[in-house]
Chain A
Amino acid sequence: NAGVTQTPKFQVLKTGQSMTLQCAQDMNHNSMYWYRQDPGMGLRLIYYSASEGTTDKGEVPNGYNVSRLNKREFSLRLESAAPSQTSVYFCASSGTGFGQPQHFGDGTRLSIL
């Protein structure tokens, strides 16, 4: 009963490097989300996908791209990492739309030097 699975759990990058964070859910949810969590800031939405084939910007999309690969998978890409993107990244999923309970993965702790 995996729920939402994120990989990797930890990553250290150098400024300017690129990487992709992976997320997969097995709950047959239509909607998926990427958040970042910074100390004292709560969670902020980066991008979301209301359903397969659609993606939309959230509150803090700059410097990120996403791909909804299929119903199960939603990836987040940093094209040219910056120290300001050091954070903990969470993927979540829910039934269709924001008005459904969201379920989170365990997070990816990303440090950019």
Chain B
Amino acid sequence: GIQVEQSPPDLILQEGANSTLRCNFSDSVNNLQWFHQNPWGQLINLFYIPSGTKQNGRLSATTVATERYSLLYISSSQTTDSGVYFCAVAFGNTPLVFGKGTRLSVIA
């Protein structure tokens, strides 16, 4: 099955800094989603982005499906951005495969 690797596994930032999280996957996909799990455990869907670029406020994501990676950009980070960011992928009408996540800590 598809393998999903996220990097880095852990990231510590000063408030106001920018960051890039990466998601690599082993096979072709036509479904890629980014999720944020906040410190209270809630999972929020950030982007559905099988290809191209999308932006939502300080967050943006780019997926280059032909090169099998996706990037999540966080600009001007805030303490509320802390948590774990998951990438999940699939091809066709098959279940999403989740990566192990990147744990982000933003320090004031």
In Å, the complex CA distance between A92 and B98 comes to: 14
Q: Nearest Cβ distance between residue B32 and chain A, in whole angstroms?
A: 10
Check if B95 sits within 8 Å of A99, measured CB to CB: no
Q: Which of B41, B42, B88 has the most CB of A within 10 A?
A: B41
30 pairs, CB–CB < 8 Å, chain A vs chain B = A40-B100, A42-B100, A42-B101, A44-B98, A45-B95, A45-B96, A48-B95, A58-B95, A59-B95, A88-B41, A98-B31, A98-B90, A98-B96, A99-B30, A99-B90, A99-B92, A99-B93, A100-B48, A101-B33, A101-B45, A102-B33, A102-B45, A102-B96, A103-B45, A104-B43, A104-B44, A106-B41, A106-B42, A107-B41, A109-B41
Q: Total interface residues on B, using CB and 8 Å?
A: 22
In the complex, the chain B residue whose C-beta lies closest to that of A103 is B45
Q: Nearest Cβ distance between residue B100 and chain A, in whole angstroms?
A: 5
**Known contacts A43-B98, A58-B95, A104-B42; 18 further A-B pairs (Cβ under 8 A):** A33-B95, A42-B98, A43-B86, A45-B95, A90-B43, A98-B90, A98-B94, A98-B95, A99-B90, A99-B93, A100-B48, A101-B48, A102-B33, A102-B45, A102-B96, A104-B44, A106-B42, A107-B42
In Å, the complex CA distance between A92 and B45 comes to: 11
Residues of chain A lying within 8 A (CB to CB) of residue B90 = 98-99
Task: Scan B18-47; emit 1 where CB is below 8 A from any A CB, else 0.
Answer: 000000000000110101000001111100
In Å, the complex CA distance between A98 and B35 comes to: 15
| A97-B45 contact in complex given A42-B98, A44-B98, C-beta closer than 8 Å | no
Residues of chain A lying within 8 A (CB to CB) of residue B31 = 98-99
In the complex, the chain A residue whose C-beta lies closest to that of B94 is A98
A2 at the interface (CB under 8 A from B): no
